C-alpha cells in the first residue's frame, strides 16, 4: 500500500485508474481526488446519474454498464463494496492480474500522501469532518477533504488541494476499514454498539478504534462525554479532550437561537472566544468543539475558525431545512440510530415549533429488531410520529420485524402519539394533510424517506402561494385532503390542493391563478353527486364555503343563497319567511352550487324552476349576474355552468301558509324515507333514461343487493349504490359497470351516470 501511495504522488508517471461503481457517493469522491492528483481516471456503473455527468465534465472517462473492456490497460482497479466478484469489469481485471483494491484501501493510500486527519465515531462523522475541512480552509490551511455526503459549503464531497499539507477524511468503522489509516491526527466523536452485522460486540468495535489510536502519530481529539471514546483515546499520549465540563475544550453560555447556536469556547479554563454556529442543536456544539480543538492543535487562528463555523450550513440530510415559511418548516435528517434520533428531536424542540411531527423510516431489519426498545423510548420526544415500513438496505426481512415493532415499543414506553403508516409511497398524503401552521416536520431515516418530505415541500410551495392570494380570513387551504371526507358516499382519494375561499374575491383570485399557472382546477360543493376515484384529484379542488358562500337570507320575498348553502337550509329559510315551493329541496343532500350546476330536482320540480338570477364567475375571470331567461337549463344539465362557476343565486317561490308548506315538506320527507336508502350514497347514480326510470330498470334486471366488496346496489331503491363501510371508488365503479352492461345487453339501454366521476385511478402526486 505504501507502494501505491508512492506511485500516486509520482507526478512524472500518472496512473491509469479505473473505478467500478463510480456513481456511489464514496466512489465519486475518490474519482475527484484521483483526477485532482493528475491521474487518468475512468469509471463504470450500472446507472448514469447527475453525479456521473458532473464527473464526466471534469474529465472522467465514464462507461455504463460495466464491461471487461473498461478495465483494459488499467494500472489499478478500485471497486465499491456493492460490487460482486461476478461483475464483468471486476472479473476481467482479476483475470488480467491487475491490482484490484477496495475503496477504503485506495482512500488510505491517498490519505498517506498527506498529513491525514481522520474523523471517526458512530454518529456525527459527516457533519464534523465537514466542519473541520471548512474551518481549516477558512483559516488558510488549504486542506484536501473526503466526506460522506454533499456539503453545500464545501462545494463537493471531495476535493484535492494541490498546495495544502492536510487532508480531512471521514473514517468508516462499519466494516473495520478504520484500521487501515495511519493519520497525523484522529478525532473520536463517540463509540457505540452499531453495525452488529459486522461486529460481534462492543469490544470488537473498541479494538478497531484502538488500532486507529495506536496508528495516529499526532493528537487524538476525543469527546469526554462518551466513556468508551475516553477509554480508547486516552491510550494515546497526545489525547485532547472536549466536552461539557472538565475537558480541555468546553463550551460555556450556550444560547440556542432560531436555527443557530451561540457559545463561548473555554480552553483549559481560559476563554478562547465566542462562536455563533450556523446550525442548531446541542450535539452540534460538541461537534464544533471537536473541530475547534483540532484546528487549534494545528495552529489555526481561532477568529477565522469561529467565522467559518458561523457560515457553516450543514450537510445534506443532516437536519437539512428543505422548506421554511412563516407557517411551516420541513427538515430532513439521516438519523437512524436512537442516539441520533434523540439529538435530532432535541434540536427540533430548540426551534420551539408548535408541534414536532416526525415521519420515521426504520433502516435495516437487524437494527430495528436489536434497538426497538430504545427507539420506542426516544420517539416519545415528538408530538406525533408516523412510522413507515423498514428500509431493508440489502437485508432480507426478519419475520415479525416491521415499522409496527417500533410502534409497539413506543406504546410500552409512554403515551406518545406514535402510529404506523407502512407505505412510504403514499405516506406524504397522510402526513401532509396532518400538518398545521406552526408545525415542524422531520423526515427521519437513512433510506429514502426524504422523498416524502420533498413531495410535501414542493406542493406546500404551490399551496402557500395560493394562500397568499387573499387576506387570511378569506381563504383556507390544505394539502391532500381526503375526498372521502367531502363526498356523501364517503369514497375517494386525496385532493392535491384543497382550497376553501370564503369571499367572491378570494374565489376569483384562486381560479385566475390556477388558470394562469396551468394548475388543474375543480370546484366541488357538498360532494353529494360526486364519485372521486381512489387515486385522488390532481391540482386544485376548490370548495367555496363560509363567509358569503354560507349566507342565506330573504330580501323582497326572494331567497338569496351562497353556493355553499345546503338546499335543505334554503327550504327552511323560505318556510320561515312564508315562501312556498321549496319543500322538494328538503331531501336533496347537495348545496346551491352543485344544484345549480346540474339543475338538481325532486318531486317533479327542478332547481331552475325557481331561479331568478345567478351570480357567477365567467371564463374571463369576471364576476357577473345573469337572469333566469338568459340561462339554458336542461334535465340535470346546465351547459353554461360547465365552464363558469356559480357563486350565489336568487330564488323565487310563492307566498303560502305555514300549514300548506309543512304539508308538502312532510309529504316529501315521507316519500323519501320510504323510497330511498338512508345509508351513505351519492343519491341517484344514473340519469333516468327516456324509456324508464333507472331505479325501476335496475330493479327489473334483478340487480338490487348485488355488490363488489363494500359497494352495494341498495335494496330500497335500484338507482342508489350504498357504501357498506369503507368501500373504494373502484368497487363502486365496478358495480356501475355491471349495471350498465346488464342494461345494454338485456334492454339495449345505454345508461348515463348522473354522478360526476372525477380523479385518477392511480396516485400521480
Give DSSP secondary structure letters for 452-477. Answer: HHHHHHHHHHHHHHHHTTS-GGGEEE
Q: How far is CA 629 from CA 560, 614, 642, in A?
A: 18, 11, 18
Q: Rg (Cα) of the chain, in Å, rounded?
A: 34
The least CB distance from residue 689 to ligand EPU, in Å, is 10
The least CB distance from residue 679 to ligand EPU, in Å, is 13
- Which member of 314, 338, 594, 695 binds ligand EPU (CB under 6 A)? 695
Q: Residue count at the site for ligand EPU (CB under 6 A)?
A: 16
- Which member of 193, 196, 398, 603 binds ligand EPU (CB under 6 A)? 603
Q: Binding to ligand EPU by residue 693, rule CB under 6 A?
A: yes
267 versus 671: smaller Cβ distance to ligand EPU: 671
CA angle 636, 528, 541 (to 5 degrees): 100
Any known ligand binding at 122? yes
The least CB distance from residue 568 to ligand EPU, in Å, is 13
315 versus 684: smaller Cβ distance to ligand EPU: 684
Q: Binding to ligand EPU by residue 684, rule CB under 6 A?
A: yes
The least CB distance from residue 751 to ligand EPU, in Å, is 11
Q: Binding to ligand EPU by residue 706, rule CB under 6 A?
A: no
- Which member of 320, 683, 736, 765 binds ligand EPU (CB under 6 A)? 683
Judge whether 704 and 713 are in contact, CB under 8 Å. Answer: yes
In angstroms, how far apart are the furthest CA atoms of the chain?
A: 108
The least CB distance from residue 709 to ligand EPU, in Å, is 22
The least CB distance from residue 704 to ligand EPU, in Å, is 6
Q: Binding to ligand EPU by residue 8, rule CB under 6 A?
A: no
Cell of 249: 475544550
Any known ligand binding at 127? yes
Q: Which residues pair with 321 in a beta bridge?
A: 331
389 versus 754: smaller Cβ distance to ligand EPU: 754
- Which member of 699, 709, 710, 760 binds ligand EPU (CB under 6 A)? 699
Any known ligand binding at 124? yes
Judge whether 466 and 516 are in contact, CB under 8 Å. Answer: no
Judge whether 144 and 163 are in contact, CB under 8 Å. Answer: no
Look at the block and give the residue holding cell 382550497. Answer: 499
Per-residue contact flags (x/-) with ligand EPU for residues 225 to 264, judged by CB under 6 A = ----------------------------------------
Any known ligand binding at 121? yes
248 versus 754: smaller Cβ distance to ligand EPU: 754
Q: Which residues pair with 522 in a beta bridge?
A: 541
CA angle 241, 246, 247 (to 5 degrees): 15
> Which one of the spans 237-245, 513-521, 555-563, 694-702 is the region binding ligand EPU (CB under 6 A)?
694-702
745 versus 752: smaller Cβ distance to ligand EPU: 752
Q: Binding to ligand EPU by residue 355, rule CB under 6 A?
A: no
> Which one of the spans 33-41, 418-426, 464-472, 688-696 is the region binding ligand EPU (CB under 6 A)?
688-696
The least CB distance from residue 683 to ligand EPU, in Å, is 3
Judge whether 377 and 413 are in contact, CB under 8 Å. Answer: yes
403 versus 683: smaller Cβ distance to ligand EPU: 683
Q: Binding to ligand EPU by residue 602, rule CB under 6 A?
A: yes
> Which one of the spans 25-33, 361-369, 429-437, 714-722 is the region binding ligand EPU (CB under 6 A)?
714-722
578 Cα distance to chain centroid: 55
Cell of 585: 329541496
CA angle 256, 261, 262 (to 5 degrees): 100
**Cα gap 353→144, rounded to integer Å:** 38
Give DSSP secondary structure letters for 85-120. Answer: TT-HHHHHHHHTT--EEEHHHHHHHHHTTSEEEEEE
182 versus 687: smaller Cβ distance to ligand EPU: 687
The least CB distance from residue 552 to ligand EPU, in Å, is 21
- Which member of 718, 722, 729, 743 binds ligand EPU (CB under 6 A)? 718
CA torsion sign, 311 to 315 to 316 to 317? negative
The least CB distance from residue 693 to ligand EPU, in Å, is 4
Site for ligand EPU in 571-600 (CB under 6 A): 600
Q: Which 8-state DSSP code applies to residue 286? A: H
Short-list 346, 759, 741, CA closest to 527: 759
Report the residue number whose CB is nearest to ligand EPU: 683
Q: How far is CA 602 from CA 615, 678, 722, 752, in A?
A: 23, 17, 19, 18
**Cα gap 283→242, rounded to integer Å:** 12
SS3 579: strand
Q: Which residues pair with 267 in a beta bridge?
A: 249, 270
The least CB distance from residue 696 to ligand EPU, in Å, is 4
- Which member of 687, 710, 740, 747 binds ligand EPU (CB under 6 A)? 687
- Which member of 754, 758, 759, 765 binds ligand EPU (CB under 6 A)? 754
Q: Say which residues have a Cβ less than 8 Å from residue 694's Cβ, sequence separation at least 6.
A: 684, 685, 686, 687, 688, 718, 719, 751
241 versus 668: smaller Cβ distance to ligand EPU: 668
> Which one of the spans 207-215, 357-365, 417-425, 684-692 is the region binding ligand EPU (CB under 6 A)?
684-692
445 versus 695: smaller Cβ distance to ligand EPU: 695
**Cα gap 381→124, rounded to integer Å:** 20
Any known ligand binding at 250? no
Any known ligand binding at 488? no
- Which member of 361, 719, 728, 753 binds ligand EPU (CB under 6 A)? 719
Per-residue contact flags (x/-) with ligand EPU for residues 633 to 672, judged by CB under 6 A = ----------------------------------------
> Which one of the spans 120-128, 222-230, 448-456, 711-719 is the region binding ligand EPU (CB under 6 A)?
711-719
The CB-side HSE value for 565 (13 A sphere, CA atoms) comes to 27
Judge whether 107 and 146 are in contact, CB under 8 Å. Answer: yes
Sheet containing strand 711-713, strands side by side: 707-708, 711-713, 721-723
Any known ligand binding at 126? yes
Q: What are the residue numbers of the active site?
A: 636, 684, 754
308 versus 595: smaller Cβ distance to ligand EPU: 595
Cell of 20: 467500478
314 versus 718: smaller Cβ distance to ligand EPU: 718
403 versus 718: smaller Cβ distance to ligand EPU: 718
700 Cα distance to chain centroid: 50
Q: Binding to ligand EPU by residue 170, rule CB under 6 A?
A: no
> Which one of the spans 90-98, 444-452, 609-617, 712-720 is the region binding ligand EPU (CB under 6 A)?
712-720
Give the 3-state secondary structure of 514-576.
HHHHCCCEEECCCCCCEEECCCCEEEEEECCCCHHHHCEEEECCEEEEECCCEHHHHHHHHHH
Give DSSP secondary structure letters for 736-758. Answer: HHHHHHHHHHHH-----BSSEEE
Where do contacts with ligand EPU occur on this chain (CB under 6 A)?
A: 600, 602-603, 675, 683-684, 687-688, 693, 695-696, 699, 717-719, 754
Binding-site positions for ATP read 121-127
Binding-site positions read 121-127
Amino acid at each position: 500500500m505504501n507502494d501505491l501511495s508512492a506511485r500516486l504522488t509520482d507526478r512524472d508517471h500518472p496512473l491509469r485508474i479505473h473505478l467500478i461503481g463510480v456513481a456511489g457517493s464514496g466512489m465519486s469522491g475518490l474519482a475527484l481526488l484521483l483526477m485532482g492528483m493528475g491521474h487518468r481516471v475512468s469509471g463504470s456503473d450500472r446507472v448514469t446519474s447527475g453525479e456521473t455527468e458532473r464527473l464526466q465534465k471534469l474529465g472522467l472517462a465514464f462507461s455504463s454498464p460495466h464491461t471487461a473492456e473498461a478495465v483494459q490497460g488499467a494500472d489499478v482497479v478500485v471497486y465499491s463494496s456493492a460490487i460482486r466478484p461476478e461483475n464483468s469489469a471486476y472479473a476481467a481485471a482479476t483475470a488480467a492480474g491487475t491490482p484490484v483494491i477496495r475503496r477504503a484501501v485506495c482512500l488510505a493510500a491517498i490519505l498517506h500522501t498527506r498529513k491525514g486527519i481522520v474523523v471517526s465515531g458512530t454518529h456525527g462523522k459527516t457533519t464534523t469532518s465537514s466542519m473541520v475541512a471548512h474551518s481549516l480552509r477558512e483559516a488558510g490551511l488549504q486542506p484536501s477533504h473526503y466526506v460522506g455526503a454533499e456539503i453545500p459549503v464545501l462545494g463537493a464531497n471531495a476535493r484535492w488541494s494541490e498546495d495544502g499539507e492536510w487532508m480531512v477524511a471521514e473514517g468508516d468503522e462499519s466494516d473495520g476499514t478504520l484500521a487501515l489509516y495511519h493519520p497525523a491526527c484522529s478525532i473520536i466523536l463517540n463509540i457505540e454498539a452499531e453495525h452488529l452485522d459486522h461486529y460481534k460486540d462492543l469490544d470488537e468495535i473498541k479494538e478497531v478504534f484502538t488500532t486507529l489510536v495506536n496508528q495516529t502519530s499526532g493528537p487524538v481529539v476525543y469527546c469526554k462525554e462518551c466513556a468508551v471514546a475516553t477509554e480508547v483515546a486516552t491510550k494515546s499520549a497526545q489525547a485532547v479532550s472536549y466536552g461539557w465540563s472538565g475537558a480541555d475544550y468546553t463550551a460555556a453560555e450556550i444560547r440556542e437561537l432560531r436555527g443557530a447556536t451561540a457559545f463561548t469556547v473555554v480552553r483549559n479554563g481560559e476563554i478562547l472566544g465566542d462562536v455563533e454556529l450556523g446550525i442548531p442543536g446541542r450535539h452540534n456544539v460538541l461537534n464544533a468543539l471537536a473541530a475547534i480543538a483540532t484546528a487549534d492543535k494545528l495552529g489555526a487562528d481561532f477568529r477565522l475558525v469561529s467565522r467559518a463555523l458561523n457560515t457553516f450550513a450543514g450537510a445534506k440530510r443532516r437536519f437539512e431545512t428543505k422548506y421554511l415559511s412563516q407557517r411551516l418548516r420541513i427538515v430532513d435528517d439521516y438519523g437512524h440510530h436512537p442516539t441520533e434520533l434523540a439529538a435530532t428531536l432535541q434540536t427540533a424542540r430548540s426551534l420551539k415549533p408548535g408541534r414536532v411531527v416526525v415521519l420515521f423510516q426504520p433502516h435495516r431489519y437487524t437494527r430495528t429488531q436489536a434497538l426497538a426498545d430504545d427507539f420506542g423510548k426516544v420517539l416519545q420526544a415528538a408530538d406525533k410520529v408516523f412510522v413507515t415500513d423498514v428500509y431493508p438496505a440489502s437485508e432480507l426481512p426478519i419475520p415479525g420485524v416491521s415499522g409496527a415493532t417500533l410502534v409497539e415499543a413506543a406504546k410500552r414506553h409512554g403515551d406518545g402519539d406514535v402510529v404506523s403508516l407502512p407505505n412510504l409511497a403514499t405516506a406524504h398524503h397522510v402526513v401532509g394533510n396532518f400538518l398545521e401552521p406552526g408545525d415542524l416536520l422531520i423526515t427521519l431515516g437513512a433510506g429514502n424517506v426524504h422523498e416524502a418530505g420533498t413531495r410535501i415541500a414542493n406542493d406546500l410551495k404551490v399551496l402557500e402561494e395560493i394562500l397568499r392570494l387573499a387576506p387570511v380570513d378569506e381563504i383556507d387551504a390544505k394539502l391532500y385532503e381526503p375526498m372521502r371526507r367531502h363526498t356523501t358516499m364517503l369514497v375517494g382519494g386525496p385532493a392535491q390542493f384543497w382550497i376553501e375561499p370564503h369571499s367572491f374575491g378570494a374565489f376569483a383570485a384562486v381560479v385566475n391563478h390556477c388558470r394562469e399557472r396551468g394548475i388543474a382546477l375543480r370546484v366541488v360543493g357538498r360532494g353529494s353527486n360526486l364519485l372521486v376515484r381512489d387515486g385522488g384529484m390532481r391540482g386544485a379542488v376548490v370548495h367555496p364555503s363560509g363567509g358569503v358562500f354560507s349566507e342565506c337570507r330573504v330580501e323582497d320575498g326572494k331567497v338569496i343563497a351562497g353556493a355553499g348553502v345546503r338546499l335543505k337550509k334554503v327550504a327552511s329559510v323560505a318556510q320561515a319567511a312564508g315562501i312556498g315551493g321549496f319543500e322538494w329541496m328538503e331531501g336533496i343532500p347537495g348545496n346551491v352550487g352543485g344544484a345549480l350546476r346540474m339543475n338538481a330536482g325532486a318531486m317533479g320540480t327542478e332547481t331552475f324552476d325557481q331561479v331568478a338570477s345567478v351570480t357567477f364567475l365567467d371564463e374571463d375571470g369576471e364576476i357577473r349576474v345573469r337572469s333566469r331567461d338568459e340561462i339554458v337549463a336542461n334535465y340535470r344539465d346546465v351547459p353554461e355552468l360547465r365552464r363558469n362557476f356559480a357563486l350565489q343565486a336568487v330564488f323565487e317561490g310563492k307566498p303560502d301558509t305555514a300549514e300548506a308548506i309543512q304539508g308538502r315538506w312532510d309529504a316529501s320527507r315521507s316519500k323519501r324515507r320510504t323510497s330511498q336508502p338512508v345509508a351513505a350514497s351519492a343519491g341517484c347514480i344514473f340519469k333516468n333514461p327516456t324509456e324508464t326510470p333507472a331505479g325501476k330498470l335496475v330493479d327489473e334486471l334483478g340487480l338490487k343487493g348485488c355488490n363488489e366488496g363494500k359497494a352495494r346496489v341498495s335494496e330500497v331503491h335500484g338507482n342508489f349504490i350504498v357504501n357498506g363501510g369503507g368501500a373504494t371508488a373502484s368497487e363502486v365503479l365496478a358495480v356501475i359497470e355491471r349495471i350498465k352492461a346488464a342494461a345494454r345487453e338485456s334492454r339495449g339501454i345505454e345508461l348515463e351516470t348522473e354522478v360526476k366521476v372525477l380523479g385518477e385511478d392511480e396516485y400521480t402526486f
